[in-house]
Amino acid sequence: PPSDAEAAYRNRKKGHSMNFQVVVNASMKIMDICARFTGSCHDSFVLHQSGMYRLFSSGRIRRGWLLRDHGYPLKEWLMTPVVNPATDAHKLYNSAHINCFRCLDRSGGELLVQARESL
């Protein structure tokens, strides 16, 4: 990182990084990438600054959802897991949420592998 902005690139694990958001569909096709924030920026900040947030918030995207973890507010289009699931329905929802989220992890891992191979 540039020496005059080194602190901005320091993430919560004390390493230097960029924070980027990748939106994929269920087939792992990349639909959107937001890659302009330093590692010190929280994921929710990146989401709120992204074009996808504006498209969903304004209603320009009416069908579909974004999946995030419990650190995000629940919105019609932003699905988060149920904290302390008490019913079978909540547990089933959380299981489905986790399985979909794994798709995101795989796509992010594949993106990093491809980036490393192109260097």
Record the pTM. 0.70
Which letter does DSSP use for residue 51 in this model? Answer: H
Residue 114, pLDDT score: 56
pLDDT at 102 over 80: no
Question: Across the chain, what does the average pLDDT equal?
Answer: 82
Checking phi first, is residue 21 left (phi over 0); if not, alpha (psi -120 to 50) or beta?
beta
The C-alpha atoms of residue 53 and residue 40 are separated, in whole angstroms, by 20
Per-position DSSP letters for 61-116, written without gaps between them:
--S--EE--TTS--BTTEE-PPSS--SHHHHHHHHHHHHHHHHHHHHHHHHHHHHH
pLDDT tens for each residue of 41-98: 888 888 999 999 999 999 999 888 888 887 787 789 999 899 999 999 999 999 998 8
